[in-house]
Amino acid sequence: MTQTLLVELLTEELPPKALAKLGDAFANGILNGLKSRDFVEADAVATAYATPRRLAVTVTRVRATSPDKSIREKVLPVAVALDKEGNPAAPLAKKLAALGFPDLKVSDLERASDGKAESFFYTYTAPGSTLQNGLQTVLEETLGKLPIPKLMSYQRPDGSTVQFVRPAHKLIALHGADIVPVSALGLSADRTTLGHRFLSQGELSIADAESYAATLQEKGKTIPSVSARKERIRDELLAKAGGDKVLMPESLVDEVTALVEWPVVYECRFEDTFLSVPQECLILTMQTNQKYFALTDAAGKLRSRFLIVSNLETSDPQHIIGGNERVVRPRLSDAKFFFEQDKKKKLADRLPGLANVVYHNKLGTQGQRTERVKTLAGRIAAMLQADVALAERGALLAKADLLTDMVGEFPELQGIMGTYYARHDGEPDEVALAASEHYQPRFAGDALPSTMTGTVVALADKLETLVGIWGIGLQPTGDKDPFALRRHALGVLRMLVEKRLPLSLNTLLQDAAQLFAGNANFKDPTAEVAAFMLDRLRGLLRERGYAQNEIEAVVAQNPDRLDNIVERLDAVKAFAALPEAESLAAANKRITNILKKTDGANKGVQQGLLKEVAEEGLYSAMTQLKPQVDAAFAKGDFSGTLKSLAQLRNNVDAFFNDVMVMAEDEQLRNNRLALLSDLHGMMNQVADISKLAA
């Protein structure tokens, strides 16, 4: 017979940012430990609970005793167990005693091969273990493996010292309605717990495991489920927001969920005068320092009212509302003060200060870095026939806001504040926007810069970082990438691909490497970075739904420009769907392998040396088709280029059926290799279609 098991550990307030992980680890540890000891049915369900003061789990279909097990134990190899006369030797008696079967005879043992030698085996039935014994071990193992950020030492009333994430006060272990007498952290299991510190009816007695959550919620004013509390918070925030939009980043919702047991949302306000401060500053200070939820109107403009999630339900919440309004006011005043003070000094006047900010001890200061990015931005702008002066000015001012009071207080606002201050200084709008846009894209799926100047500065900034950091030997290794070089590489690739920028990737990397000329710490990593970026490109294209062989057909050619890579991939996809594709891809692969074995010199096809009908037919078909292929390729019609090659299928098949390429006659052999080399060139202008072969 099975019943639901409840295990709860009541503690002092747990670290909110670690609560969800602790709750999941506690639940999974108990479940998996019981499973491994055969205490639960296969379809058992575990439900994790975690509040600021407790970790708990219920597991359905738990047995009071694990089943008896049939165990086949290897005893000893026969050669060791028996002496030369075939009688039991001393090692056998010793081994049987150690196993707990001293009275067994040789006739009681099974004689069989263990895969290497003939051995004795004994099969017996081991009785099941009690849930008390099993749970005691599982509980100790689970508590020892919890992802605790920092252990805390404390003394129990009996004077013993215990280490845990926070002091523990109560332990519940119920199998159905029965207490399982286990212990942990100096506590003995019981059926009592505590609910909300102020709203609960007092000490709560849990009748049985199934009624745990309901009892806590009804009598203890505590919602034990993390997901249920989070859902309640979201629902109440949306209800209180009315027609406004509530800003609730997932990280903030998670943290607030871990701070309350009985969430109640109240509306608060601040003075409208604070709205003169950039709203990003106000939003960040409310979210970061106070865990408040800001509201905006439909257009995204900040409102002077905000929402708080309290852990206290009351019919008269004015003291709670007033207290939070008083607390937030100094924070907003600080933001306003920083903003007003920062505006008194222009961004351009802060530039000399960047010489005092270390970027990296092997790469110099932020001032030196700014000059490098400015130089590269100017070159990229010239390549794109964009405004070089705007690009250089944007790059020059992009990092100046690092020296402002606001960014010093809130590093997350770097770039955003630069845009506000540059506009205040009267800088061109593209220059101002470059201060924030040069960080884009910040993460996967983030928007790209909206302006040409922002795009140019973003490319320059990311390339300088990528090449510079790599060049001093700090390239990504395994899962470690402290300078986010993978993210920088993907940012560059996305801009080149999605904005269709007609830029040479190798030229960009070489220009970036030239910025570090004369730096003894720097070793040019252009080739390595180029290969790294092509690998990132493969991943980017896989995310967009292209097949691996389609991607390889294009990327294996080490494309230097990425503005037309989407068209190339689409052309490859369309070509692969043609009935002729498989045969031509296989032929192309064969040609590639043949040409690899030769010196690669192509002295041109001499028509007079074409002896076989099949090679004359192929040459004639290629000659007629080449103008059509070249014209399609020249105008960027990659799909047309590849599809036109389908006309060669019969001629190519006939050539390989009827013609001996590696003829003994050197002239004939070289002429046929030249013909294949020309064919290879025609077939692989858009992509290496041999990669489509199975």
Q: How far is CA 651 from CA 52, 297, 587, 645, in A?
A: 76, 68, 11, 11
Residues 146-155 have pLDDT tens digits of 999 999 999 9
Round to whole Å and give the CA distance between 540 and 555. 12
Residue 599 has pLDDT above 80, yes or no: no
Q: How far is CA 22 from CA 166, 216, 382, 430, in A?
A: 12, 20, 54, 47
Pairing of strands 2-11, 168-175: antiparallel
Structural domain boundaries in the chain: 2-66+130-220, 70-126, 226-342, 362-545, 566-692
Structure tokens at 319: 């003291």
The more confident residue out of 602 and 342 is: 342
Alpha helices for 146-260 (secondary structure H): 212-220, 226-241, 250-257
DSSP element (H, E) containing 175 = strand 168-175
Residues 240-273 have pLDDT tens digits of 999 999 999 999 999 999 999 999 999 999 999 9
Residue 694 has pLDDT above 90, yes or no: no
Q: Closest Cα partner for 9 from 215, 171, 173?
A: 171
Residue 602 has pLDDT above 80, yes or no: no
Whether 543 contacts 569, CB under 8 Å: no
Q: Closest Cα partner for 684 from 537, 575, 534?
A: 575
DSSP element (H, E) containing 11 = strand 2-11
Whether 147 contacts 25, CB under 8 Å: yes
The per-residue pLDDT for 491 is 97
Round to whole Å and give the CA distance between 684 and 568. 11
Round to whole Å and give the CA distance between 648 and 561. 29
Residue 600 has pLDDT above 80, yes or no: no
Residue-wise DSSP of 73-88: EEEEEHHHHB-TTSPB
Residue 307 has pLDDT above 90, yes or no: yes
Class of domain 566-692: mainly alpha
The per-residue pLDDT for 389 is 98
Pairing of strands 364-365, 264-269: unpaired
The per-residue pLDDT for 116 is 87
Q: What CATH number does domain 362-545 carry, 1.20.1740, 1.10.3210, 1.10.287, 3.40.50?
A: 1.10.3210
Environment class of 565 (CB within 10 Å of its CB; exposed 0-12, middle 13-18, buried 19+): buried
Segment 325-329 shows an average pLDDT of: 96
Class of domain 2-66+130-220: alpha beta
Residue-wise DSSP of 608-673: GG--SHHHHHHHHHHHHHHHHHHHHHHTT-HHHHHHHGGGGHHHHHHHHHH--TT-SSHHHHHHHH
Question: Which of these ranges, 30-34, 169-173, 274-278, 661-665, has the smallest mean pLDDT?
Answer: 661-665
Banded pLDDT at 597 (limits 50, 70, 90)? confident
Dmax over Cα atoms in the chain, in whole Å? 106
Segment 617-641 shows an average pLDDT of: 93
Whether 131 contacts 180, CB under 8 Å: yes
The per-residue pLDDT for 71 is 83
Q: Do 362-545 and 566-692 share a fold?
A: no
The per-residue pLDDT for 211 is 97
Strands, sheet with 46-51, edge to edge from the N-terminal-most edge strand: 46-51, 54-63, 2-11, 168-175, 178-179
Burial 191-214 (b: 16+ CB within 10 A, else e): bebbbbeebbeeebebebbbebbe
Banded pLDDT at 598 (limits 50, 70, 90)? confident
The per-residue pLDDT for 621 is 94
Per residue, the 3-state secondary structure of 201-234, as one string, reads CCEEECCCHHHHHHHHHHHHCCCCCHHHHHHHHH
Of all residues in the chain, the percent with pLDDT exceeding 90 is: 85
The per-residue pLDDT for 479 is 82
Segment 611-637 shows an average pLDDT of: 93
Residues 6+ apart with CB under 8 A from 311: 196, 259, 260, 261, 262, 263, 264
To the nearest whole number, what is the mean pLDDT of the chain? Answer: 94
Whether 538 contacts 551, CB under 8 Å: yes
Residues 175-184 have pLDDT tens digits of 999 999 999 9
Look at the alpha carbons of 251, 254, 255, 256 in this order and tell me if their dihedral is positive or negative. Answer: positive
Residues 394-411 have pLDDT tens digits of 999 999 999 999 999 999
Look at the alpha carbons of 540, 546, 551, 555 in this order and tell me if their dihedral is positive or negative. Answer: negative
pTM for the model: 0.80
Segment 90-95 shows an average pLDDT of: 92
Round to whole Å and give the CA distance between 57 and 50. 9
Question: Which of these ranges, 39-43, 134-138, 171-175, 378-382, has the smallest mean pLDDT?
Answer: 39-43
Residue 536 DSSP SS3 = helix
Banded pLDDT at 68 (limits 50, 70, 90)? confident
Q: Closest Cα partner for 494 from 540, 544, 460?
A: 540
- Which residue type, as a one-letter code, is found at position 87? N
Pairing of strands 203-205, 168-175: unpaired
Round to whole Å and give the CA distance between 494 and 488. 10
Pairing of strands 118-126, 183-184: unpaired
- Which residue type, as a one-letter code, is found at position 353? G
